[in-house]
Amino acid sequence: MNPRLAGSPERLGLALLLMIALLACQAPSPAASKPQPAASGTGAGSAAAAASTPTSAPAAPPAGGLEVVRMADTRVLAGGPIYLAVEKGYLREQGIDLQFETMAGAADVVPFLATGDLDLAVGAIAVGLFNAFDRGLDIRIIAPAGIMTLEDSPLPLVVRKDLYDSGEIRTAADLRGHRVGVNTRGGSVEYVLDKILTSAGLTIQDVEQVPIPFPDMPAALANGSLDAAIPAEPFATRSVDLGVGHKLITTVIPGQMTTCIIASGKFLRERPDTAQRFILAYMRATRDIQPPQLGTFDPERFYKPEHLAIFEKYTGAPAQVLRNQVPYTWDVDLVIQADSLMDQQLTHMRNGLLQIAQPVPYERMVDETFVRYAQQTMGRLRQ
């Protein structure tokens, strides 16, 4: 482990919001040495795929052996394709030795990315991320990570079963005045809750948000300290299995990007060729487990024994737990969703948790160069 990182895991404390605060960057895109963007655009789309077979990228390892790339890791499934890229040798084929710095959350990751002591991380899109961009930290989003499913969301709205059975809460509009559990304020879960409420003519201010860790939500529903919650899987399914919760709304922000890969600006400027090779390996691994259509899930690919063994190794979750939860999905074309990113920023500003003078421009948060290079090299599967 990098000595400058030693001891930091004890101070980190989030989980799925892990790299929330992870980031930001004012640095301009790396200049002449950077790979040139492909001609194809990066607008999101979910049309029929032109092909469904994963495409391999030509390996381009540098002369002189493997190059070390340091990545913050919280051992969650959002990083699934990265774990596959390591274990299936795709990164080694690209001349990369990916070394993980295991961390429990986000707080200490920000300065290490900004100074270049870490090269990469997977992070949630949340208030801390936008605050870091507003402060001008030297970090950029370079690819999407987790994508919400089109149906049966891994972040459903779960209500207490007794309140559902009695008819007290049967629609989102019935949440007015009730206590709703979120894992933290200002994260992707609050964004999901905002979308559920606004669709029913309510606002965040119409409910009492109760910050509570995901693992504690089933018990809080059982003892009545919560009326509803948005638990991440497997805790949503656990609430139902325990007979204390009912999944009321399971289709939320379908196909939207909720986590992303963030890179140190120093890494992108000084080693743009390494960054492009990393994204090639990442795209290849994503296509091993993800069908072309955005927000869809292919159990035959995902639950392949080889893949399950890798996910077990890195997340610590048994195969049966992985099978029982609503899974993550990813994007085979690695399109960074500008509209979704900006809407999440504006939503948090409107709700008062993101207190910045004006929205951070998309161009200051994102560098699309590397996904465009991968799209050009490996081809796009969605037209």
Question: Does 303 have pLDDT greater than 70?
Answer: yes
Q: What is the pLDDT of residues 107-166, one digit of tens each?
A: 568 789 999 999 999 988 989 899 999 999 999 999 999 999 998 888 999 999 999 999
Classified as helix, coil or strand, 15 is: coil
Question: All domains of the chain, ordered by start, with CATH?
Answer: 3-148+256-378 (3.40.190.10), 157-249 (3.40.190.10)
Mean pLDDT of 337-361: 96
pLDDT-derived band at 61 (thresholds 50, 70, 90) equals low
Q: What is the pLDDT of residues 2-58, one digit of tens each?
A: 544 544 433 333 333 333 333 333 333 333 333 333 333 333 333 333 333 334 444
Question: Does 383 have pLDDT greater than 80?
Answer: no
**Distance in angstroms (rounded) separating the CA atoms of residues 139 and 263:** 6
From residue 246, give the alpha-carbon distance in Å to each of 32, 85, 171.
55, 37, 12
What's the pLDDT at 108?
A: 63
Question: Does 279 have pLDDT greater than 80?
Answer: yes
From residue 77, give the alpha-carbon distance in Å to each of 80, 81, 111, 340.
5, 9, 24, 21
Sequence-separated (6 or more) residues with CB below 8 Å from residue 141: 23, 260, 261, 262, 263, 336, 341, 365, 366, 367
What's the pLDDT at 73?
A: 86
Return the structure tokens found at 292.
């072309």
List helix spans (H) across the chain: 80-87, 90-93, 109-115, 127-135, 161-166, 188-199, 217-222, 235-241, 265-270, 272-289, 299-302, 305-315, 319-324, 338-350, 362-365, 369-378
Closest by CA to 282, choosing from 148, 145, 97, is: 145
Question: Does 92 have pLDDT greater than 70?
Answer: yes
Mean pLDDT of 329-336: 97
Taking the CA atoms of residue 128, residue 129, residue 134 and residue 138 in that order, the dihedral angle to the nearest 10 degrees is 130
pLDDT-derived band at 357 (thresholds 50, 70, 90) equals very high
pLDDT-derived band at 325 (thresholds 50, 70, 90) equals confident
**Distance in angstroms (rounded) separating the CA atoms of residues 231 and 252:** 13
Mean pLDDT of 366-378: 98
Return the structure tokens found at 240.
């139902």
For 182, list phi and psi in degrees, rounded to 5.
-130, 150
Taking the CA atoms of residue 303, residue 304, residue 306 and residue 309 in that order, the dihedral angle to the nearest 10 degrees is 20
Q: In sequence order, what are the beta bridge partners of 98?
A: 69
Question: Does 340 have pLDDT greater than 70?
Answer: yes
Sequence-separated (6 or more) residues with CB below 8 Å from residue 101: 1, 2, 5, 70, 71, 72, 73, 112, 118
DSSP letter string, 27-63: PPPP-TTSPPPPSS--------BS--SPPPPPP-PPT
Mean pLDDT of 70-98: 94
Q: What is the pLDDT of residues 243-258, one digit of tens each?
A: 999 999 999 899 999 9
Question: Does 186 have pLDDT greater than 70?
Answer: yes
For 178, list phi and psi in degrees, rounded to 5.
-95, 165
Mean pLDDT computed over every residue of the chain: 84
What's the pLDDT at 24?
A: 32
